[in-house]
Amino acid sequence: MGHTSKEERLVTGRKHGVRRLQPSVMMILILAWAMVAGACADSGAGDTTTSAAAEEEPTTTAAAEEEPTTTAAAEETTTSVAGEALAVTCDPVSPDTEGSLTMWERTGGNAQMVDALVCAWNGRNPDRPISLEYIEHTAMVDRLARGLATGDVPDLMGMDLIYGPQFTSAGQLLEVTDLVDQDLMATASPGHVATATWEDSLYGVPLYADVSALFWNKDLFEAAGLDPETPPTNLTELHDMAAAITGIEDGVYGYYLPGNCAGCNIFTFAPMIWANGGKIEPAAPGDEAMVTPEVIAPVLEWARMMHQEGLIDPAAQSEDGATFAQVFGSGNVGIMGTGNFNITLVSGAEGIEGQNPDMNYGVTLIPGLNTGDVASFLGGDIVVVPQGSERLDDAVDFMNFILSDEVQVEVYAKLLNMTTRTDPELTDNPYYAEVPLLQDVAAAIEIGQTPFTLKFFELVNSPQGPWLQMLQRVYYSDDDINTVIADAKAEMEAIINE
């Protein structure tokens, strides 16, 4: 190796045979690398990425997003109905397919159900199949809003039902009042119909339904010396049973309330307030929130007592919804408010492995302070047609198709989901007969309530909203309950009156 002067080494950047990069060159390389890496990362950060704290938080359907979903490439199964095969799995359809309809659906909902409905439709309508695109659920509202502003909208779409009033009131959905089959709509889920209706005009039909209910772990009841076949019928009983269960084994708690998840709480805790006659959110400007504080306060006092007595896992304080659906199936919680989707999650179903299939548990309606007072949150999605769609007739055909008896039984019930019509002859089907728990939870649809407000996200679903802020003060502070309610009421009314 020849000798090199220091000057030469500095010029060439070589020392001991190793190249030294000049700072400016190095910086440019780094920036270029970072930009490429950022672009790669961002390329998936739009509509289809997953994020934890915010994204995982359930909306009205709580933790349904955790429900295992069927994949498009799954083995195709068919059901023979009246001599015809009704497919519930299929390959996805490209939006470039001639005659296809484009449909948006949010992630975090019931993808398994929507996939199956689309496959059933596509099997029967090969000349006008649906090309389904999933939109990140936290981005769905603004994606639709942007689409409406620019004309980039799908032919039809699934929408979290609680956002129905916001878009119908703004005149951004096409009316279907006289187009859908009135006989089928007569027994359609009332909560879905209410949120799809604005000033007596109908803008959508139920796509799928999720209801909240109270699940109790019979194994833990037995271990605690409680009657495993007798669930609590009021909040006092619930407290006493939870107290008996808490601590029977290390890490076992009597009850569960997620402390950092607005959607989970409106789904599972709000029904206790409703059962007691309370109302939480204002519907429109001028409407009153938190009606009435005297009715709501005792339920909040009960929740605070459950925390103060240590009947709820302290780790629940950080539960933002990401693991909410797995809590009951862990077998460490005696009683818990959750949704119908938890039956499949815990016990499994055809093609779906259960989290804890040997666990014995029951399902009952969520009680209030007094025996006999019960309530449930009725959530899910509605199918709507955004302004700008040029396929209204086809979209309406899809609406009538999913409301039909055949699809109600051979798709919804077969996949152990709630039927979206409440006719007894539909809920009394062979699939539910094999899973009696589904019949128990199906009773919640008839008593289910769905909040109706023009600003649901800002009022309730947002982690920054007054609903979760109120609950966190109730659960984890000693603030006066009446003050907490008054603050939430004032903030909600300020938001709705903006």
The site for another protein (CB under 8 A) is made up of 6, 9-10, 15-16, 18, 20-23, 26-27, 30, 33-34, 37-38, 40-42, 45, 49-55, 57, 138-139, 141-142, 145-146, 148-149, 166-167, 170, 172, 259-260, 314-315, 317-318, 320, 322-323, 455, 457-458, 462-464, 469, 472
* Least separation in angstroms between CB 232 and another protein: 26
As measured in angstroms, the least distance from the Cβ of 109 to another protein is: 17
Torsion sign (Cα): 360, 366, 369, 372: negative
Q: C-alpha distances in angstroms, 139 versus 107, 324, 382, 453, 458?
A: 10, 21, 17, 19, 14
Q: What are phi and psi of 491, to 5 degrees?
A: -70, -40
Nearest to 422 by CA among 443, 396, 436, 397: 443
SS3 291: strand
Q: For 118-144, give one letter per residue: b (16+ CB within 10 A) or e.
A: bbbbbbbbeebbbbbebbbbbbbbebb
What is the nearest approach in angstroms of another protein to the Cβ of residue 460? 12
SS3 199: coil
Element (H, E) at 416: none
The whole-angstrom separation of Cα 367 and Cα 126 is: 47
Bridging pattern class, strands 18-19 and 156-160: unpaired
By beta-carbon proximity to another protein, the closer residue of 26 and 186 is 26
Locus of tokens 């910086």: 27
User: Of 169 and 371, which has the nearer Cβ to another protein?
Assistant: 169
Tell me how far, at minimum, the Cβ of 67 lies from another protein, in Å: 19
Query: Which of 182, 201 has the CB closer to another protein?
Result: 201
The neighbouring-strand residues paired with 48 are none
Q: Residue 70: phi, psi to the nearest 5?
A: -80, 145
Contacts of 59 (CB under 8 A, 6+ apart): 106, 108, 109, 137, 160, 162, 263, 379, 461
Shortest Cβ 106–another protein spacing (Å): 13
Terminal C-alpha separation, the chain: 78
Could you count the other beta carbons within 10 Å of the beta carbon of residue 3?
A: 5
Cα 208 to Cα 341: distance, rounded to the nearest angstrom: 12
Of 146 and 292, nearer to another protein (C-beta) is 146
**What is the distance between the alpha carbons of residues 95 and 101, in angstroms, rounded to a whole number?**
7
What crossing angle do the helices spanning 466-476 and 481-496 adopt, rounded to 10°?
170
Query: Given the structure tokens 């005297």, which residue do they identify?
Result: 294
DSSP-derived 3-state class of residue 123: helix
The distance of closest approach from Cβ of residue 470 to another protein in the complex, given in angstroms and rounded to an integer, is 10
Task: Tell me the pairing of strands 130-135 and 101-106.
Answer: parallel
Phi, psi (degrees; rounded to nearest 5) at 478 = -105, 15
**Nearest-approach distance from CB 101 to another protein, in angstroms:** 22
